[in-house]
Structure 1
Amino acid sequence: MKKKKLGLIPKLIIAIALGIVVGLYLPDWVTRVAITISGMFGAFLNFIIPLMIIAFVAKGISDLSEGAGKLLLVTVVLSYSSTLIAGSLSYTMASNIFTKFITPDLVAKIQNATNNTLDPYFTIPLGAIIEVTSALVLAFMLGLCISILRSQGKGEIFYGAISEFSDIINLVLSHFVLPLLPIFIFGNFCGMANSGSVFAILGIFGRIFVCIIALHLLYLCAMFITSGLYAGKNPFACLRKAVPAYLTAVGTQSSAATIPVNVNCNKSMGVTRQIREFVIPLCATAHMPGSMITLTACVFTLLTMFNMDTSFTLIMKFVAILGIAMVAAPGAPGGAVMSALPFLPVVGVDSSGTMATILISLYLTQDSFGTAANVTGDNAISIAVEKIYYKHIVKKPIPVEND
């Protein structure tokens, strides 16, 4: 019998617990060693982040350029719009609810404690090859140009190179970054526990996650009601048929791994084969409302805790960029938050600092619920796309299938 491997979430929880214990009860030099190791890993993150942008965004745009023309356009526009709406609702919730329990006294306590964090013994001057903004511009340029070349029957060599480069970065993430995340998180929680800020931070995030999951469910209901009424389908019956996909995503934490189950759920809702087999796999990477709700709420909370700018225009700029970047988020646990790291400087957060560590740690502990909201919502998008496609594009009745 094969031995069961400990999953990422249990490792993460153990790392947080050990970090708190070490930071509170062991000598300062132990904490400084942990912080030093964590800092080295953070430097590597800074190095790889621009490469992630080039690999994932360029590959994602190139891939999205394939497909059935108008059907592709409709699906991508609906998916991106849904992701932006989810981020806007998350901001509205956070700005009206979270500020009631993130009091000025608590903010002052966290800031004072953070200033008392121990310094590492040494740091490694490992910088990025290219700036984040330059990497983003390059990624868009490559993705769009390769897309145009491929539509002309050219550009396959460049597409292959970008695809293989994306595979290389995925290998680095899956075999190095994600496995070592618990060590990175352990070191940072040692520092937070030593400074005295950890319990205040965890107390805040325990409350916001209840709000986040509630918003996930409310948004899913709204999506199915809207698409169901538009397409003439029973929204609650469709939502009930999507439950297997939701539960599968909770267990796997991967949109990609849930695709076969989600296609079957979509079939049971009566969506035609042509639509479901096109839309569901595409939305697995293009439609991220659950992840966006979680990330927006977490980022807003972090900015509030550290008394930084939380204006709507700033957060929505982050949401708009992230909605595109997450198109190529890896299908592994934590893909969305790893895609978010390069764009944290947009809201003034260091991509490898303490705030980024808190974001990674607390996002990953509930990543499965965000993924579940993503894939369940894909069914609502598919229902709407089917109606638009047959009514406005091909202008034919929706065929009835017997398979």
Structure 2
Amino acid sequence: MERRATGFLKNYGDILLLLLGIAVGSVVGMFFPGTVEWLKPVGDVFLNLLFASVVPLLFFAIASAVANIDGSQRLGRIISVMVAVFLGTVVIAAVCTIVALWLFPVEAPSTVGGPGTTRELLQGDPNDTWGAKLVRFVTVDEFYRLLSRENMLAFVIFSFLVGIAAMRSGGPGAAFRGFLASGNEVMKHLLILIMKVAPIGLGAYFAYQVGTIGPELFGFYAKPLGLYYVLGVCYFAVFFSLYAYMAGGRQGVSRYWRNNILPSATAISTCSSIATMPVNLVAAQRMGIPAAVANVVIPLGMTLHKNGSSMSSIVKIYVAFVLIGRDFFEPMTLLTAVGITVLVSIVAGGIPNGGYIGEMLMISVYGLPTEAIPAVLIIGTLVDPIATVLNATGDTVAAMLVSRFALGRNKRNRDGINGTD
């Protein structure tokens, strides 16, 4: 019993501390509203530390991941089909979430300000042409401008290009690739250090929000959270079954769910895709997925394929837009949201607390005010258990799809693939 309690605290300790900080901050904001102006600077310091770490962390994470791709990962058709499956399922998850939010909208607390509270960076000059907006959005004309959060997408593209150049530089670029890998490790530990003070920083900021907006804020958070959990469970049951059917017919559905119980339990009990990966590999073997596919798709999927993160990213963007009074369902906003979702699914996987960096990226790309940041951080924390289940167990059904379309394994499981039917 003691060991079980220790394991629970190890897996959920950070979340519990964060929730405790938010709860204490809420009580302070509700009963001692006169103190919130003194607490807000504490929250601002934490958010500024996060913002300051975003640029170097994203650079090293993206550039090192691209630069250190080796020849063993280039498995031709398996890799190309895997990429298509990853992108397709992540985009489907995002679109489903957008539809659900459109059908069941959330209203902002009445005391929240309107559009005037935000910097309208994306609107720019109304006389701008589409071409001018595109150029300004994806590139800059001076290197130092890449280091600004206002040009985050251009910075991400630059980081990818640096990674590709480092990968193609061969022997002369070995030292630089080592530098990128080392820098990535250093920035991971920097983020871990910053997140140690998250309960205090977010607690202080939440005290300010409750003190200025009021208790109705809790009812506001309950609606998108409830929607996410209901949608997550439905997506888990319906779409994963559909993917398994596409991969192997009725037998595929049976094999998937019969062998997915332990990975699902592991994901929800550990809140960790990494901890679920070994169980996923065993489950994949029992599902009849060839080792050549499972050993590539599942480890890479742990980092690059996140259905739950895709859905939560859309919900966070929506919540932020509702809070500041902007229209989330404007077409360009939706397209950008899907693009950010795909990017977050790729970037966040290799970073501890990587979801927070994804949220900072979202805030930066849209040019949202700092008032929106605690909202998306809180949403991200509270949806973590079900998001982890969708992220982790989605990798095995993705491996089934890759096996079907890359190797031509049909629904009767021919060609020597052993299942557990």
The corresponding residue for 1:120 is none
The corresponding residue for 1:263 is 281
Shift of 1:319: 2.4
The corresponding residue for 2:179 is 161
Q: Note if contact 1:253-1:368 (Cα within 8 Å) is conserved in structure 2.
A: yes
Q: Note if contact 1:255-1:374 (Cα within 8 Å) is conserved in structure 2.
A: yes
Q: Note if contact 1:23-1:190 (Cα within 8 Å) is conserved in structure 2.
A: yes
Q: CA RMSD in A?
A: 2.9
Shift of 1:187: 0.9
Structure 1 CA distance for aligned equivalents of residues 381 and 358 of structure 2: 13
What whole-Å deviation, never above 9, does each CA across 1:25-62 have from its counterpart, x for those lacking one?
Answer: 2362x423321111112222221111122122223334
Shift of 1:284: 0.5
What whole-Å deviation, never above 9, does each CA across 1:183-213 have from its counterpart, x for those lacking one?
Answer: 111111110121133x323212212222212
The corresponding residue for 2:84 is 77
1:14 equivalent to 2:31? Answer: no
Shift of 1:337: 3.4
The corresponding residue for 2:201 is 184
What amino acid is aligned across from residue 266 of structure 2 in structure 1? Answer: T
Structure 2 CA distance for aligned equivalents of residues 215 and 173 of structure 1: 31
The corresponding residue for 1:119 is none
Instruction: Structure 2 unaligned segments of length 5 or more: list them.
Output: 118-143
Count of residues in Structure 1 that have an aligned counterpart in Structure 2: 376
The 1:385/1:362 distance shift into structure 2, 3 A limit, reads same
Which one of 239, 243, 248 corresponds to residue 261 of structure 2?
243
Structure 2 CA distance for aligned equivalents of residues 111 and 58 of structure 1: 39
The corresponding residue for 2:104 is 97
Structure 2 CA distance for aligned equivalents of residues 79 and 301 of structure 1: 26
The corresponding residue for 1:196 is 213
The corresponding residue for 1:111 is 113
Instruction: Structure 1 unaligned segments of length 5 or more: list them.
Output: 116-126
The corresponding residue for 2:130 is none
Q: Note if contact 1:329-1:335 (Cα within 8 Å) is conserved in structure 2.
A: yes
Q: TM-score when scaled to structure 2?
A: 0.81
User: Counterparts in 2 of 1:372-383, with a 5 A limit?
Assistant: 372-383=389-400
Which one of 29, 42, 63 corresponds to residue 23 of structure 1?
29
Q: Which runs of 4 or more aligned residues in structure 1 lie more than 4 Å from their structure 2 counterparts after TM superposition?
A: 1-6, 63-66, 330-333
Shift of 1:171: 0.6
Structure 2 CA distance for aligned equivalents of residues 146 and 341 of structure 1: 26
Which one of 405, 409, 416 corresponds to residue 388 of structure 1?
405
The corresponding residue for 1:211 is 227
Structure 1 CA distance for aligned equivalents of residues 62 and 405 of structure 2: 28
Q: Note if contact 2:29-2:209 (Cα within 8 Å) is conserved in structure 1.
A: yes
Q: Note if contact 2:286-2:419 (Cα within 8 Å) is conserved in structure 1.
A: no
What whole-Å deviation, never above 9, does each CA across 1:229-263 have from its counterpart, x for those lacking one?
Answer: 34343314412321211221112222122110111
1:292 equivalent to 2:310? Answer: yes
Q: Note if contact 2:53-2:191 (Cα within 8 Å) is conserved in structure 1.
A: no
The 1:161/1:340 distance shift into structure 2, 3 A limit, reads same
Shift of 1:281: 0.5
User: Counterparts in 2 of 1:54-65, with a 5 A limit?
Assistant: 54-63=59-68
Q: Identity rate of aligned residues, in percent?
A: 19
The 1:147/1:239 distance shift into structure 2, 3 A limit, reads farther
Match of 1:98, SS state, is coil
Structure 2 CA distance for aligned equivalents of residues 227 and 363 of structure 1: 28
Match of 2:343, SS state, is helix
Match of 2:113, SS state, is helix
Of 284-293 and 223-232, the range deviating more from structure 2 = 223-232
Shift of 1:331: 5.3
Structure 2 CA distance for aligned equivalents of residues 148 and 228 of structure 1: 40
